[in-house]
Structure 1
Amino acid sequence: MTFPFNQDLYPYQRHPDQDAARPVHHPVTVVGAGPVGLALAIDLAQRNIPTLLLDDNSRVSTGSRAICFAKRTLEIADRLGVGEALVEKGVQWNLGKVFFGDRKVYEFNLQPEDGHKNPAFINLQQYYLEITLLERLRALQADGAPVNLRGENQVSTPIQHADHVALTIETPDGFYSITTDWLIACDGANSHIRNRMGLGFKGRVFEDNFLIADVTMQADFPTERWFWFDPPFNPGQSALLHKQPDGVWRIDLQLGWDIDREVEKDPDRVRVRVAQMLGPDVPFELEWVSIYTFQCRRMDAFRHGRILFAGDAAHQVSPFGARGANSGIQDADNLGWKLAAVVNGAAPEALLYSYDTERVQAADENILNSTRSTEFITPKSEVSCVFRDAVLVLAEHHSFARPFVNSGRLSLPTTYDDTPLNTPDALPDGPTQSRPGAPCPDAALCHGFLLDQLDGQFTLLALGTNAPDNIGVTILSPEITKDIRKRYLGNAPSALYLIRPDQHIAARWPCATANEIAQALSRAKGHAP
């Protein structure tokens, strides 16, 4: 079988920049054509911001890598024009089950309520996500969007100046130079740019190893997330099973700390482990094998002058909880509109400091949750193990114990409660899920869904009241359905919501004057209050 990661999808081509007498200038340069870099380049292209996307490779990722994409990521993907394609290809799931030994402890539903367009999660190999994003980027290019992707272009050490960044780029034809107003490093956990700048991480590396085995098989397992503590096929350790498209299943097996990685990756040894899990009557083939170590770390700051970091280049978390790729795409979602506003002169450079503030908060939340998951999954003392096992025994019969079971708190978007872009809440009795700083909860309308009505610009959502005239933003006045009432009004008879381009709420009032809205809009664009 020929997998997409074996194909050159954006091979090297010589560009006129390489023959220019002087370095050509680019407003925005994004380094790294993985999910985060592609998402950011698409967002900027849709906003008509000239963007250069560079990657030292010419292919999508090897192996499935990130596979769980959360509802918030799918909502962002809708705005980028790829959401429906991802959901159609992906395996949808809401139900998870937790086992202790060979007994099911309990199950949980991640999306028990209706009125959302997207499922709680889909499982989809990362290479399919990247291919879908590449196709979208090419479609934008065909429509004249100012975005250029160059494969096999390796950036060397960037040199910052007061008003630009100078880059030297290595290609199969040698070196060339460009300048850029803004450089965005989305070049992964081993970020070449971060390392060349001498910037590191703070946080923890956990003493444990996990085997990833992607296998193809025809099995009767349901489309659910199954997690085992101390299973009979991997005693004293843990295991995870997920279904992916094309008959591919992801298996994670805890191995312990003191192992020989090369020995454990031997295909024959992996086949024995997988067969112990699946049983002798389930034929399978190995597609991809890797071993990883839990890491919960981040950079001190995500903005360094005119260079900003996003995704794994900025922060790393353990895979359990699906927080890596999801948080990286949310980085791109947060940064895209802000960078566009600064480039267009619609906002001061100070707006970009809020990217650092908000996404560092998100990284800290992800690291905290990921660390707690790791400590529960891999207890490092006898006392911790006794406590963990007691919780699992209680959870089988007592619901109060189930919130203490932590097999990976699954990815949720961050609410930016303390961002300087928020206006103090003027609707204190409104639903907490739609307070300032929160991402807009989706809601079913009489025709379609609320988030589909937001166009990636500032929007004033008017519910049960009229919006003032001439406020300079899009006004949306949908019908008040039961979902709108529950998620945006609560007990309030009316409300106005100012919604940011990334669908986070900047302000809300029972009603507001044009001046109040103008002040909130100015604050949300990074102007000092």
Structure 2
Amino acid sequence: MRNALYNFAYRRSPDQDARAPVRHPVVVVGAGPVGLAAAIDLGQRGVPVVLLDDADRIGEGSRGICWSKRTLEICDRLGVGEKLVAQGVTWKLGKVFSGDDLVFAFDLLPEEGHKMPAFINLQQFYLEKALCDRVGDIDAIDLRWKNKLIGVEPHNDHVRLKIDTPDGPYTLEAGWLIAADGARSTTRDMLGLSFSGVTFEDKFLIADIKMAADFPTERRFWFDPSFHAGQSALMHRQPDNVWRIDLQLGPDADIVEEQKPERVTERLKGMLGDIAFTIEWISIYRFNCRRLDRFVHGRVVFVGDAAHQVSPFGARGANSGIQDAENLAWKLAAVLKGEAGPSLIESYERERIQAADENIAHSTRSTDFIAPHSPAERQLRNAVLGLAPKADFARRMINSGRLSVATVYDTSLSTPDESGFGGSARLGAPLPDAPVRRKDGTSGHLLDNIAGEFTLLYVKNGAAPEVPDGVMSICLGEDLIDSEGVLCQRLDASPGAAYLVRPDHHLAARWRHADGAKIAAARRRAMGRAG
């Protein structure tokens, strides 16, 4: 089995020698992908962050492997996107089999002109290492390994924390505490909070194996294959000649027996035949589809698996968590800088609970299709699979895990359209990417040119609209050229049209003709203030 790939040294902090607890604007608990992303986003915005983790290493098992286009766009803004894509295995095709027969195939990004691919497969420890390296570039982040949270005491304007270290415990204070400490969140337990939702009984085996195989780079999912009769199977390629295999075991599987290497080897030989392989990592899990009733508790904010859990089919766990971090970071930075009131943090809860509920609903439907609860449900599923090769409606009913996409927020932060818009851009959704050419003649993509602040995109048409403080502006036709005609199509752009983009790249407002008053009112609304 693979051991930890990366180890980090514990260092004593000056806070441990202070005579009174030191207060920091933000403390993040948990240096996994979500906590690291939150810290980097805040640090890039000039907010000092203390990031605590009770371990001193990363790399025990690949865990999450599928990273979505939206997550890669976020990581690109955080400074690691291109590195992840270069290191990962890019894919966008999926195939679904019934028995050993192909039922249908799908393309997750059929249109061209996006910088980031539909998905990459990359072991989670590589993503965490890239984020840890990025943390080292940002002076505003103090990452403390072997700092274990052992006490949480909420107050009206701060949270007092007790931290254990190899040198003994110490106390510090956080103006805001971000709990990114995972499915077994210590923070959640200490506050006496619990999840609402469902734990499914079916058990699944995850095995990461190393083998030299020429299978195509695509997602393959089987219902009732000959090599694993009556159950389902999933296969993904990862870097380093490592392959992820998921095998459904049923609710009565013996966890101890099924994790024995000889038992896993037997199952995998039935699937792979004579191909030589070595086992890198084994785990068994059950689905959870559940969340906290609220994500914000005073000055404590929950993100990622500490706030919600879904099944791994559909790649909705870590991807959703990184999107939590992005939604929260710009809002918390605005509150700390006095640009917005606490109601903006409440909007984090509304928007990300919406996202969590969507993910839980998709995940639950996937689980119900993959592991039917009754003979009648199984019979219906098999009928759908039988019809799928010749009926489009049946193909749409097959659910092997609806893959992660960004949530289109439906909240009061968006300004309703004053006139109709077509194209693929949608209010509340991330702005679609497109190829562009800059003033200096260099080529790039739209999202590369939008920093993490409010941005007005407007189409050249005489005088530029008045732009209020706190909004940068980009003129389409001068600052950026729609080099392939794709951008204007996706925005349904016309002369004089304007688009207000939030710091997290979600579209907040758009007009056929804008003026300074409309833009200022839309920004106030997006900041949680009355229009």
1:220-231 to 2 correspondences below 5 Å: 220-231=214-225
Q: Give yes or no for contact 1:91–1:122 (8 Å, CA) kept in 2.
A: yes
Whole-angstrom CA distance in 2 between matches of 1:157 and 1:20: 18
Q: Give yes or no for contact 1:467–1:496 (8 Å, CA) kept in 2.
A: no
Deviation (angstroms), 1:471? 1.9
Q: Does residue 1:444 correspond to 2:435, yes or no?
A: yes
TM-score normalized by structure 2?
A: 0.96
Q: Does residue 1:514 correspond to 2:528, yes or no?
A: no
Pick the aligned partner of 1:455 from 434, 451, 454.
Answer: 451
2:487 equivalent in structure 1: 484
User: How many matched pairs?
Assistant: 519
Deviation (angstroms), 1:157? 2.7
Whole-angstrom CA distance in 2 between matches of 1:407 and 1:120: 17
Deviation (angstroms), 1:493? 4.7
1:498 equivalent in structure 2: 500
2:6 equivalent in structure 1: 7
Q: Give yes or no for contact 1:467–1:475 (8 Å, CA) kept in 2.
A: no
Deviation (angstroms), 1:427? 3.5
Deviation (angstroms), 1:469? 2.8
| 1:177 maps to amino acid | T
CA RMSD of aligned residues (A): 1.3
1:269 equivalent in structure 2: 263
1:64 equivalent in structure 2: 62
1:327 equivalent in structure 2: 320
Q: Give yes or no for contact 1:157–1:197 (8 Å, CA) kept in 2.
A: no
Whole-angstrom CA distance in 2 between matches of 1:288 and 1:251: 10
Residues 1:448 and 1:6: Cα distance change in structure 2 (over 3 Å): closer
Pick the aligned partner of 2:178 from 184, 187, 200.
Answer: 184
Q: Give yes or no for contact 2:97–2:221 (8 Å, CA) kept in 1.
A: yes
1:468 equivalent in structure 2: 465
1:236 equivalent in structure 2: 230
Cα deviation 1:342-376 (Å, max 9, x = unaligned): 11111111110000000000000000000000000
Whole-angstrom CA distance in 2 between matches of 1:234 and 1:108: 23
Whole-angstrom CA distance in 2 between matches of 1:198 and 1:71: 36
2:357 equivalent in structure 1: 364
Q: Does residue 1:200 correspond to 2:200, yes or no?
A: no
1:430 equivalent in structure 2: 422
Cα deviation 1:100-125 (Å, max 9, x = unaligned): 10111111111111011111000000
TM-score normalized by structure 1?
A: 0.96
Pick the aligned partner of 1:343 from 311, 336, 339.
Answer: 336
| 1:358 maps to amino acid | E
2:440 equivalent in structure 1: none
Deviation (angstroms), 1:470? 4.3
Deviation (angstroms), 1:503? 0.2
Whole-angstrom CA distance in 2 between matches of 1:70 and 1:80: 15
Cα deviation 1:211-235 (Å, max 9, x = unaligned): 0000000011000000000011110
| 2:416 maps to amino acid | P
Whole-angstrom CA distance in 2 between matches of 1:399 and 1:216: 37
Structure 2: give runs of 5+ residues left out of the alignment.
438-442
Q: Give yes or no for contact 2:177–2:301 (8 Å, CA) kept in 1.
A: yes
Q: Give yes or no for contact 1:31–1:183 (8 Å, CA) kept in 2.
A: yes
After the TM superposition, which of the residue ranges 476-485 and 378-387 deviates more from structure 2? 476-485
Cα deviation 1:414-451 (Å, max 9, x = unaligned): 0002x1211112232333x3232111111111321111
Whole-angstrom CA distance in 1 between matches of 2:239 and 2:419: 44
Pick the aligned partner of 1:16 from 14, 17, 25.
Answer: 14
Partner secondary structure for residue 448 of structure 1: strand
1:148 equivalent in structure 2: 142
Residues 1:525 and 1:394: Cα distance change in structure 2 (over 3 Å): same
| 1:495 maps to amino acid | A
Cα deviation 1:187-216 (Å, max 9, x = unaligned): 000000001111010111111000000000
Whole-angstrom CA distance in 1 between matches of 2:121 and 2:223: 22
Q: Does residue 1:160 correspond to 2:151, yes or no?
A: no
After the TM superposition, which of the residue ranges 466-475 and 270-279 deviates more from structure 2? 466-475
Whole-angstrom CA distance in 2 between matches of 1:282 and 1:494: 61
Partner secondary structure for residue 295 of structure 1: strand
Whole-angstrom CA distance in 2 between matches of 1:500 and 1:101: 47
Q: Give yes or no for contact 1:498–1:507 (8 Å, CA) kept in 2.
A: yes
Partner secondary structure for residue 294 of structure 1: strand
1:398-409 to 2 correspondences below 5 Å: 398-409=391-402
Q: Give yes or no for contact 2:467–2:519 (8 Å, CA) kept in 1.
A: no
Whole-angstrom CA distance in 2 between matches of 1:522 and 1:397: 52
1:289 equivalent in structure 2: 282
Q: Give yes or no for contact 2:467–2:473 (8 Å, CA) kept in 1.
A: no
Whole-angstrom CA distance in 1 between matches of 2:527 and 2:17: 39
Partner secondary structure for residue 207 of structure 1: strand
Whole-angstrom CA distance in 2 between matches of 1:391 and 1:237: 16
Partner secondary structure for residue 416 of structure 1: coil
Whole-angstrom CA distance in 2 between matches of 1:22 and 1:467: 54
1:383-422 to 2 correspondences below 5 Å: 383-417=376-410, 419-422=411-414
Q: Give yes or no for contact 1:425–1:435 (8 Å, CA) kept in 2.
A: no
Whole-angstrom CA distance in 1 between matches of 2:24 and 2:38: 16
Structure 1: give runs of 5+ residues left out of the alignment.
none
Q: Give yes or no for contact 1:100–1:231 (8 Å, CA) kept in 2.
A: yes
Cα deviation 1:296-347 (Å, max 9, x = unaligned): 0000010000000000000000000000010000000101101111111111
Deviation (angstroms), 1:185? 0.1
2:372 equivalent in structure 1: 379
Larger strand proportion of the pair:
2
Give % identity: 57
